[in-house]
Amino acid sequence: MPDLILKPKSDRRLRQGHLWIYSNEVDVSKSSLQSFLPGEQVNVLDAKGKALGTAIINPKQLICGRLVSRKADEPLNRERLASRLKSALVSREQLFEDHCYRWVYGDSDGLPGLVIDRFDQVIVVQVSNAGIELLLEQLLLAINEVVPGLNILLKNDGKMRAIEGLEDYVRVAQGEVPKLVPLKENGVSFLAPVWDGQKTGWFYDHRLNRRRVQKLSQGKRVLDMFSYIGGWGVQAAAAGAKEVICVDASAQALDLVHQQAQLNNVSDKIHSLKADAFAAMKQLHEDGERFDIVIIDPPAFIARRKDIKAGELAYQRANQLAMRLLNPEGILVSASCSMHLERTRLTQLLQEACRKNGRLGQVLEQGGQGGDHPVHPAIPETDYLKSVILRTWYEA
């Protein structure tokens, strides 16, 4: 394999456990980035020529390299792919039932740019790294070595593929994959739209937070904003909520909410509203609607660092509007999947929402992503999900 040589002192982060190499850390006088092909695997050397490991490289990216081994001359191949798939599988099977989980979570599982979500006998594979794309046939062989005979959908249409110079496609690689695939989460049955839905069709990351909300929902009136296909709301109804209203801008997603409700025999408790979330919250407030629990789980308002200011304003506005819809003593469940929104900042935004609504607040619980989205301790970016359960009331 060719060598990628770093500038002096640019090896510090890698030695501390990080996996990423930035293009400005490469000594281009000794190893020109233009001499490498996207997806090529290389040996990484420090400025003195000492080996730091093996990496996948894409010379056109700011993060131009991602370590896949701490040893030189150890590229990803079928054998190593199978070993990492097995390791990840053991971890998930210890944590979750029903074979429903995120099987592979990118860098945290030693497989950069690879996501695999499992729905029992169906898996959805998403590749967003040129090196993994080059290894796709080896990856499929490795998957069959670890768990033979799965039905495999390649859902390779994410926005990162264009950045990596990869074409989009969605196709079945093995077996048969229907439009809607069954799964279970926290004892509740769902159908995931793996072909046409967001990302892989389902978001396993909030599993533990939704389980907590189940326990709070018994006998309550619940509003599920940005509901998508009802992950939060249907679980609340199945756990004994008195009434649940799911709000989303997608009619297709809300049709699935009602299918999920029927699947769990809670159709009489579930209602839906197709609308822009912000407009809906204003209208519900004007109509005098009030709820015991309001759940806010929006898409990422902060996709990039430059979006932080505008994104924080969006989170603040959403939570202020949501808080106005709570009964005098109510619970706001506020979530964020924005990597660039810090947990402490989300709590500050909730305090500001309390102040502007004349309420007092208590953080009852804070949550994050489940164990099938493991956090790499040296890569803060892998710790992206936040959930705050906030009790609010008016001062006597």
**Torsion angle of C-alpha atoms 132, 133, 136, 142, degrees rounded to 10:** 10
168: three-class secondary structure by DSSP: coil
| Tokens describing residue 226 | 């940005």
Whole-angstrom distance, CA of residue 184 vs CA of residue 238: 12
Q: Where do the H-state alpha helices sit in the chain?
A: 12-15, 78-95, 130-134, 136-146, 159-163, 207-216, 231-238, 251-263, 277-286, 308-324, 343-356
DSSP assignments along 71-88, one per residue: STT----HHHHHHHHHHH
**Torsion angle of C-alpha atoms 47, 48, 50, 51, degrees rounded to 10:** 20
Chain centroid, CA 144 distance in Å: 25
| Tokens describing residue 236 | 């609340």
Name the nearest CA neighbour of 269 among 278, 279, 277, 258. 258
Q: Which of 100, 246, 337, 354 is catalytic?
A: 337
Contacts of 266 (CB under 8 A, 6+ apart): 234, 237, 238, 244
Name the nearest CA neighbour of 58 among 130, 141, 107. 130
Question: Active-site residue 337, yes or no?
Answer: yes
Catalytic residues: 337
